[in-house]
Structure 1
Amino acid sequence: MAHIDLGVDEELVPGINGPMAFRPETAKPLNELAEVLLRGPHPLTPGERELIAAYVSGLNECQFCHNSHAAFAAAQLDGGMAVVDQVRADLDSAPVSAKLRALLRIAAAVRDGGRSVTAEMVAAARDEGATDLEIHDTVLIAAAFCMYNRYVDGLATFAPADPGRYAEAARRIVERGYGG
């Protein structure tokens, strides 16, 4: 049960959806940020950007956000959930590009603290072909998901155990986006 009365049935409106229903005026910019970062025009695919969100959320142990964005990434990546699971289990041997691996390392560093990102990490990402936009947005996705994770877990929202719930949400996000 959430720490506050969100005014919704938490099992029907789980995770971040409850706090967003509680305060729609803050939900709007949060959804707009997610839409731009994860689905807007970009050299990284939506699946790759969702993978960054899922990876950071997993490191933060935010069950709802990890499961949601893992499903969103899996729905948009070749290899599906197997790739997402491999990234979480062992980034070094996961079947992702060297560029994405370098960006995920930057995302993990942001999760530890912004100053944990080193010039060497950025240089390694650039050496693998990452652009300034990709590096910038990786840092911003990671930072934003630290906030989203703390929002969800700080209010003790409900996280469904059924993977089907996340797959259903993934279909909706892929089709309509955030806020749609």
Structure 2
Amino acid sequence: MAYIDLGVDEKTFPGITGPMSYRPETAKPLNELAEVLLRAPHSLPAADRELIAAYVSGRNECEFCCNSHTAFAVAQYAAADTADGASIVAQVRADLDSAPVTAKLKALLRIAGAVQQTGRAVTPELIEAARAEGATDLELHDTVLIAAAFCMFNRYVDGLGTFAPPAPEDYTPMAQRIVEQGYGIPVQR
């Protein structure tokens, strides 16, 4: 049970959806930020950006955000006809060095992991390593911002003690909604 009365059934509005329903005036800009960072046209595929969100959320031990953005990444990989997205996400989370993703994405994930610790853990060496793999300034900027934003989202969800569905398949309907409609849709009570 959430630490405050969010005015909704937390099983119907799990994780961040409960607090967003409680404060729609703050939900709007948060959803707009997520839409821009994770779904807007970009040189990084949406699946890779969702993977960054899932990776940071996993490192922060935020069960809801890790599971939901894992499902969102898997759905985005499927929408892009990429091989087994679930396997890609699982391998990245288990062992980034041997994961079947590009060297550029590994370098960006290392930057995201540094941001998860503290922004000051991002070093010129990490930036240069990503640039050497072809990362653009926009990709570097957005990787840092996705990681920083997800540290905030993770703390928002966990700081209010929101409900996280236990089974991975519980996140599939949310993933389909995000793929089809995006983050900008209002949360309905």
Specify the alignment match of 2:45 in structure 1.
45
Amino acid at match of 2:70: A
* 2:2 aligned partner: 2
Identity %: 72
Which residue is equivalent to 1:121? 126
AA at the equivalent of 1:74: V
Deviations 1:103-141 (A, max 9, x none): 000000000000000000000000000000000000000
For 1:81 and 1:13, the matched residues in 2 are separated by 24
1:179, distance to aligned residue in structure 2 (A):
2.5
Post-superposition Cα deviations, 1:65-113, rounded to whole Å, max 9, x if no partner, equal 0000000001112221110000000000000000000000000000000
User: How far is the alpha carbon of 1:167 from its aligned partner?
Assistant: 1.0
Structure 1 unaligned regions, length at least 5: none
Match of 2:90? 85
Range with bigger deviation, 77-86 or 131-140: 77-86
Partner of 1:14: 14
Give the drift of 1:168.
1.0
1:105 aligns with 2:110: yes
The alignment covers a number of residue pairs equal to: 180
**Corresponding residue of 1:36:** 36
RMSD: 0.6
Deviations 1:43-84 (A, max 9, x none): 000000000000000000000000000000011122211100
Q: What's the TM-score, normalizing by structure 2?
A: 0.94
Runs of 4+ with deviation above 3 angstroms: none
How far apart, CA to CA, are the structure 1 residues paired with 2:48 and 2:105? 8
